[in-house]
Amino acid sequence: METTLVGSFPLEPKRENLARALEDQAELGVTYPVLPQLRDFVLMYVEPLVAKGVLSLEHTGYVLRGDPLSVEPEVPEDLVEAADIAADLGLRYRVPFTGPFTIASRIALPGGKPGDIMSSVLSSREALEPLLEYVRGMAREVYSSLRGYIYCVDEPVLSVIIGSRSVLFGYSPGELAETLDSVLEQLKAPMKGVHVCARLPPLLKRMLLSLRYANFLDHEHSDVPENRAYYTRDELAGSGKALGFGVVSSKNPRVERREDVEKLAREAVERYGERLAFLKPDCGFGGLRGYLKGREYEEVVLRKIRVLVEVASELKV
């Protein structure tokens, strides 16, 4: 079985830590190492908007102050540095790209409250469209600059705005799919998909399976057992999708026993067979920062990755 990671690490945002995380992934045998996210995954992509005053950075989020289309997208410099390091190491790597809905959910409308999704840009189609165009432009720039093998659009907010029967702000599943496809279309890589974490609501499945420009879907399964049977093998095959399956927790600092990871991985293979794209941690490891006063990376993250790779190396679909 092939392996990959989702994105963030509990390391300070320095070039030497970008290199360290990539070198460690390669040494441990991760099939598709991820370009490390060592900063906030929204700020990385909206920083040009903050620098030009289009967004004001508040304690709990951002406030819209101008027109996103007045700013040219600039690829995050740390991802450019990481891609150069990965290329020097000869890696086929994964690029994490923060999706438009998640970005919009963190930006308050003028007069709104930063951090409150109900007064965010998501609540106004008029405000959302220029931001979407900015994100599409950023996607084009990211692909042309980084040239990764895998691109994953990270949309954790989708499990919040989509419920069992309805979607917040009156969006339809078709509208959401069309918007995500317009971003995915800019990424011309061999593998591209969407990551949604937390418990997956029923209505989300139809939307994700309908995506035309995604060939894999990526979720949490170790910490969220309800997600393990979310799709059927036939549903994935019929939509041309494969699955990224989480077999180690990205939230719990306890390092899993190998036999427990192996049991979950075998369950995934039995359930999904050839529709299983890779095994991975549930999400990024950045949330573990501070748990062991700076020792999280060595004592938790690397040990979890080692278990992941050892189990995957002995499995076949």
pLDDT in tens, 29-84: 999 999 999 999 999 999 999 999 999 998 889 999 999 999 999 999 999 999 99
Q: What is the pLDDT of residues 109-137, one digit of tens each?
A: 999 999 999 999 999 999 999 999 999 99
Range of the domain at 29: 15-313
**Is the residue at 102 inside a domain?**
yes
Q: How many domains does the chain have?
A: 1
- Which residue is associated with the tokens 């918007």? 179
**Is the residue at 226 inside a domain?**
yes
What's the whole-model pTM score? 0.97
Q: What is the pLDDT of residues 276-315, one digit of tens each?
A: 999 999 999 999 999 998 999 999 999 999 999 999 999 9
- Give the CATH number, domain containing residue 276: 3.20.20.210
Asked whether the predicted pLDDT for residue 317 surpasses 80, the reply is: no
pLDDT of residue 164: 86
**Distance, CA of 138 to CA of 144 (rounded, Å):** 10
Task: Give how far the C-alpha of residue 222 lies from the chain's centroid of Cα atoms, to the nearest Å.
Answer: 16
pLDDT of residue 316: 82
Burial of 77: CB neighbours in 10 Å, binned 0-12, 13-18, 19+ = exposed
Could you tell me the maximum CA-CA distance found in the chain, to the nearest angstrom?
55
* Phi-psi domain of 163 (left: phi exceeds 0; alpha: psi -120 through 50; beta: other): beta
Q: What is the pLDDT of residues 131-178, one digit of tens each?
A: 999 999 999 999 999 999 999 999 999 999 999 889 999 999 999 999
**Is the residue at 2 inside a domain?**
no
**Distance, CA of 112 to CA of 7 (rounded, Å):** 30
**Is the residue at 5 inside a domain?**
no
Q: Starting from the edge strand earliest in sequence, which strands make up the sheet with 55-58, in order?
A: 55-58, 61-64, 107-108
pLDDT of residue 59: 82
**Is the residue at 241 inside a domain?**
yes
**Is the residue at 144 inside a domain?**
yes
**Is the residue at 10 inside a domain?**
no
pLDDT of residue 220: 98
**Is the residue at 96 inside a domain?**
yes
